[in-house]
Amino acid sequence: KEEGNFYEIEINGISASYLFDIEKKKKSFQNVSMTYAEVIKEVIGDNKVICTIGKDREIGVPLIQYNETDWEFARRLASHFNKPIQSDILTGNPCIWFGIRFGDKKEQAYEYLFDTQTYKVAIDDKYYKVGKKLGLSRVYYIVYYIKDGRNFQIGDKVLFDDKKLIICEKEVRFEKGEVVFYYKLARENYVNVVEYYNGLFTGLTLLGEVIKTSSEKVWLKLDIDGKNGEYDYKWKPTSGNLMYCMPKIGTKASLYFESADERSGIATNSPRTNGGNDEKSDLDFEGFSNVQNRGMVTEHDKRMDMYPSTLKFKGTSGDEAVPLELLFDDETGIKFESHKIIDLVSLENIKIESEQAVLGYAPLELKVLRTAKLMEEKLKSIIPKGTYTMEKALKEIKEKVDLSAIYSNNDTTLMISNQFDIVTYKNHVMQGREYELYEPIDDAPQEAGFNWGKWAFNLALGAVATVAFIGLSVATGGAFAAFCAGAAVGTAAFTITTSVGDLISGEVTDTKDFLVGLSWAAIEGGIGGLIGGKIPTPKWLSKVDKLIDTIDKVSDTVDNISLALDFFANPEATLKSMAEGKVMDVVGGKISRKKGKSNRGKRRNDRKNEHRNPDGKTCCGKNEPVDAVTGSFYIEQCDLIINDILEDVALERFYQSIHNRVSLLGKGWNLSIFSSLEFETGYIKLYTFENKKEVFTINENNEIKSLRGGEEIYSLTKLENGYKVYHTLKSQTLLYDENGLLLYVIDRNGNKREYVYENTILKRINFPSGQYFDFDIKEAKIKTITDNMGRQIKYEYDGDYLLSVEIPNAGIERYSYNDKGLISSVTNADGVTFVKNTYDD
């Protein structure tokens, strides 16, 4: 282009590597011991590629170039290393770098390579497109734009402002009569790319010849290039591998790809090539041209036909007139045919029923055999009206048929033979019965009346106990008076509610159970009186409570053993009692009787489930989302339950807004199956399954003591290779390693829950019953939890904050946070925001 006395020339250039991006090819590389570098050199040419990656890494599984140019295939393989490829623009020859080219000059030569006074710096948007997917930090995407008059190549290493960088991009300009260069500098990971695949493979099927089979694996010589099959593809036919039906060597098999990654290939079927018309094939398998007719024939001519109206199994009898087959026909029914014996063998009964008639055909005889023992028992139950012995006829039959084998064990038989309708071996017993109908007997069980005497006696016992406690409260003082006053209230309330309940139900409570309930009411009322009176609870009272709790457990155990013995002695009666409600359901391996336990067990469970803070004060209940003592907003959410040997294990999430600790579920969250130890100078912190913290001191002599005053719930002991925690209320032992990671949870019966780690990252929790939870943990956060039945919980985060939880069959629950990182709202799976929080400063 001419402008005045000057000419403007525009030159468009292209590197010689363009020659690699013209022809689309199909090749396979099944030698899995080849390295990536060897594969690329075979594709591009040994002298046309320089490999900076893939020299030491074997491909592991077959790689296939399918409708891709050499350039496209090389780029895709380089992405397996998250690296690009680079053209050679200096020699003019078709050459590439497999991986990024790195300069070979020493770093010291670049110490003051560029003027650091004039440059631009920015965070490249490649971070959002690539960096986040690769999990890389923003630091790798800080780029520097430099202008310089010297010519360097992409990939050269430089030191810029004491930072080790490489030249990522280069632009040449002609400005004011001078050639200048604009460079983009960044750290080496800036050039990384996301691994990608050839989308043509998704659902693709390639044919190949079977050259070898073994252990449900096949070796295929693919038709796309004819190379010998060197890899054992898994044989997974879509219909299932019925009776280990492998394709024969020399036949064709289909290689199916489940995804865009060619490494997902499996051999799925062997297309039939020996037929296609209704004419009989060499295996006598007609009718295959109709797609509704399905079937299978082995090389030994055993066959199975699955047609729209028939199902047939056929063997080889050697006689076309009498085939060996089993036929199910929608029109005619079921048909057995055999050229030899048909045996029906059962360890119990064989029952043949028909609404019309049961017919048996035979040219000579029909025989029914019966053992002598069973015949003898049957004869005892009938009265013979007469007998008839056919000695002459039987003698003639014995001469024709050898019955020694049949009657060697004194068996009896019924035969229909030749001209005789019915023939027996010894006695022919004719039996007749007469039936007479009677009116139903009115013998229904009579309901017992209300026991007013027992009811009045229970009422009197409660009244006496109440009056006694009132008298003791008046006569004494201090803590004991407060205890007696509360006990009087408890016994009075129990007596009234139980008596009224008996009147309503029509059934009087057993006196023994009434006394046990009355005792508990007195104890609990007394404790309430002490707390209400703000008088410290005596230590002896807690020990009495613990002793009674132990007695209850022993009583429950005795009840369970008794019921088990009842079941083994008389299963039918015991099951009937369970059905009538006299026995409670079997739950978690425990069996308990309703009578005598329901009130006692309920109170004990209520006492165990009570929430208490470290000072022993009662906190708010589970239904209240704000702790009345601390003011903390909390969440208790059950995501999944598995039935273990002794109890149901619930996977629960706990959230406390006052907790700043960041766990695997994010800030403030914890899981009910997680516990850990954390160490500070002079202290060890135990984080419990209930998302609570117990603090222990440790002195120079490694003596460990709890900061909790009074009776300790947890005890901590230093072991040779870790620590042991004992939960006194649950009789539970927890073992931790030296870093505070939980290894085992062992109950009082020795059942062990195991925590499995890889490089300190939790991978699985194994339960005593054989069930398990699998964990996918990335960037110190749980992504998914999957149980042995395939149920999966998914978690999403924004940094250290849990945003959503996807629960199987329950949808997604979402959480939002305020500027201080506290939960501000909770939205359920239906999109309803049912919690909105504001917090005091």
Same domain? For 651 and 795 the reply is yes
Tens of pLDDT, residue by residue over 334-361, are 888 887 878 777 766 788 888 777 777 7
Domain boundary among 269, 294, 312: 269
- The total number of structural domains in the chain stands at 6
pLDDT at 394: 47
Position with higher pLDDT, 588 vs 665:
665
Same domain? For 475 and 591 the reply is yes
Which residues are 123's β-sheet partners? 142
The Cα 589–Cα 138 span in angstroms is 54
For CA atoms 477, 483, 484, 486, the dihedral sign is positive
pLDDT band at 527 (very low <50, low <70, confident <90, very high): confident
Same domain? For 581 and 493 the reply is yes
Kindly state the percentage of the chain with pLDDT values over 90. Answer: 22
Q: Which of 53-57, 108-112, 217-221 shows the lowest per-residue confidence on average (mean pLDDT)?
A: 108-112
User: Which CATH number characterizes residue 256's domain?
Assistant: 2.40.50.140
pLDDT at 161: 81
Tens of pLDDT, residue by residue over 173-184, are 888 888 899 999
pLDDT at 781: 94
Q: Which of 262-276, 652-666, 739-753 shows the lowest per-residue confidence on average (mean pLDDT)?
A: 262-276
Q: Does residue 277 have a pLDDT over 60?
A: no
pLDDT at 194: 92
Given the structure tokens 């009115």, which residue do they identify?
442
Q: Which of 109-113, 317-321, 674-678 shows the lowest per-residue confidence on average (mean pLDDT)?
A: 109-113
Burial 197-210 (b: 16+ CB within 10 A, else e): bbeebeebebebbb
Position with higher pLDDT, 835 vs 427:
835
pLDDT at 412: 59
In 710-829 the beta strands, taken as DSSP E runs, fall at: 714-718, 722-727, 732-737, 742-746, 752-758, 761-766, 772-778, 781-787, 792-798, 801-807, 811-817, 823-827
Same domain? For 668 and 748 the reply is yes
Q: Does residue 241 have a pLDDT over 60?
A: no
Residue 692 lies in a domain: yes
The pair of structure tokens assigned to 279 is 């004419």
Residue 505 lies in a domain: yes
Q: What's the mean pLDDT in 365-376?
A: 61
Residue 209 domain boundaries: 199-269
Residue 625 lies in a domain: no
State the first-to-last Cα distance of the chain, in angstroms, to the nearest integer. 72
Q: Which of 286-300, 501-515, 558-572, 801-815 shows the lowest per-residue confidence on average (mean pLDDT)?
A: 558-572
For the ranges 553-567, 640-654, 737-751, the maximum mean pLDDT occurs at 737-751
Tens of pLDDT, residue by residue over 779-793, are 999 999 999 888 999
Q: Does residue 623 have a pLDDT over 50?
A: no
Length of the chain: 841
Same domain? For 697 and 758 the reply is yes
Q: Which of 98-112, 474-488, 517-531, 729-743 shows the lowest per-residue confidence on average (mean pLDDT)?
A: 98-112
Q: Does residue 794 have a pLDDT over 80?
A: yes
Report CA-CA distances (Å) from 192 to 127, 163, 168. 10, 19, 11
Same domain? For 184 and 225 the reply is no
pLDDT at 273: 67
pLDDT band at 824 (very low <50, low <70, confident <90, very high): very high
pLDDT at 599: 40
The pair of structure tokens assigned to 831 is 């999109």
pLDDT band at 247 (very low <50, low <70, confident <90, very high): confident
Q: What's the mean pLDDT in 71-97?
A: 88
User: What are the phi and psi torsion angles at 514 (to 5°)?
Assistant: -65, -40
Position with higher pLDDT, 201 vs 474:
201
Same domain? For 477 and 592 the reply is yes
User: Which CATH number characterizes residue 94's domain?
Assistant: 3.55.50
Report CA-CA distances (Å) from 303 to 16, 291, 382. 61, 17, 51
Same domain? For 141 and 237 the reply is no
Burial 465-497 (b: 16+ CB within 10 A, else e): bbeebbebbeeeeebbbbbbbbbbbbbbebbee
Same domain? For 758 and 805 the reply is yes
Position with higher pLDDT, 648 vs 201:
201
Q: Does residue 75 have a pLDDT over 80?
A: yes
Same domain? For 804 and 665 the reply is yes
Q: Does residue 576 have a pLDDT over 90?
A: no
Q: What's the mean pLDDT in 638-662?
A: 84
Residue 317 lies in a domain: no
Secondary structure (DSSP) of 211-247: EEEETTEEEEEETTT-PPP-SEEEB--TT--GGG-PP
Q: Which of 166-175, 561-570, 739-748, 798-807 shows the lowest per-residue confidence on average (mean pLDDT)?
A: 561-570
pLDDT at 610: 36
Q: What's the mean pLDDT in 366-380?
A: 58
pLDDT band at 532 (very low <50, low <70, confident <90, very high): low
The C-alpha angle 407, 410, 411, rounded to 5 degrees, equals 65
pLDDT band at 544 (very low <50, low <70, confident <90, very high): very low
Give the type of residue at 653.
Answer: R
User: Which CATH number characterizes residue 138's domain?
Assistant: 2.40.30
Q: Does residue 314 have a pLDDT over 70?
A: yes
Given the structure tokens 């693709």, which residue do they identify?
204
Domain boundary among 550, 576, 609: 609
Residue 793 lies in a domain: yes
Cβ contact 607:600 at 8 Å: no
Same domain? For 790 and 728 the reply is yes
Residue 828 lies in a domain: yes
pLDDT at 374: 53
Which residues are 256's β-sheet partners? 205, 266
Tens of pLDDT, residue by residue over 20-30, are 889 999 999 98
In 586-692 the beta strands, taken as DSSP E runs, fall at: 634-643, 648-656, 662-663, 666-667, 669-671, 676-680, 683-687
Question: Average pLDDT, whole number, for the chain?
Answer: 77
Residue 226 lies in a domain: yes
Q: Does residue 554 have a pLDDT over 60?
A: no
Residue 436 lies in a domain: no
Tens of pLDDT, residue by residue over 410-427, are 555 666 655 555 656 555
Position with higher pLDDT, 242 vs 16:
16
Q: Does residue 808 have a pLDDT over 90?
A: no
pTM for the whole thing? 0.41
Same domain? For 61 and 122 the reply is no
Kindly state the percentage of the chain with pLDDT values over 70. Answer: 73
Domain boundary among 173, 191, 209: 191
